[in-house]
Each structure stands twice: as C-alpha cells, then as structure tokens.
Amino acid sequence: MTPEAPATPEAAVAATHEWFERHSGWAPPDEGTLEEWRADDVCRCPDECLVEWDGCCEHGLASWSLVLSALD
C-alpha cells in the first residue's frame, strides 16, 4: 500500500526525515546536480523519484529542494 502524499511541504519534509532514520547511506546531491535539476524544473527525492522542483513523490517524500531549503 502506498501512503498518501503529504498535505503540505512541511509534512513531506517531516516524512522525509523519518525516512532518513530508517535508511542509511543517503547523501544530498551536489550543487552542480541541483543546478541541472533546477534548470529543468525537476528534482529528485531521497528515494530517487523524479518530481517537480518543489514537489513530493507518491511515497510521501519531499524533493531534495524542499529538504535542503528547510535546513537553511
């Protein structure tokens, strides 16, 4: 069963941090990769799903753009 997409970007970021706790070996993309994605108005989530720049995937995870923005 696939979880529902979070109702807000904040909820997606919170779900992503929970995902980080259960999955090791993740690392944020480098600046060059982020720039390429931004130019194409797409982004990846930590589980590698391709989404809109400020979106979340069908699994409820936030895009790296949202995750990194929340850390700033």
Q: Specify if 4 maps to a domain.
A: no
Q: Specify if 3 maps to a domain.
A: no
Q: Specify if 43 maps to a domain.
A: yes
- pLDDT band (50, 70, 90) for residue 1: very low
> Number of folded domains in the chain?
1
Which pLDDT does position 5 carry in this prediction?
Answer: 66
Q: Specify if 1 maps to a domain.
A: no
Q: Specify if 14 maps to a domain.
A: yes
Q: Specify if 60 maps to a domain.
A: yes
Q: For residues 49 and 33, give the distance between their C-alpha atoms in angstroms, rounded to a whole number.
A: 15
Q: Specify if 58 maps to a domain.
A: yes
pLDDT digits (tens, 9 = 90+) for 26-67: 899 999 999 999 999 999 999 999 999 999 999 999 999 999
Domain assignment of residue 34, given as a range: 9-22+29-71
| pTM for this model (two decimals) | 0.87
Pairing of strands 42-44, 50-52: antiparallel
The Cβ-side half-sphere exposure at 18, using a 13 Å CA radius, reads 9
Cβ 21 vs Cβ 61: under 8 Å: no
Q: Specify if 2 maps to a domain.
A: no
pLDDT digits (tens, 9 = 90+) for 11-21: 999 999 999 99
Whether the predicted pLDDT of 8 surpasses 70:
yes
> How many helices (H) and strands (E) in the chain?
3, 2
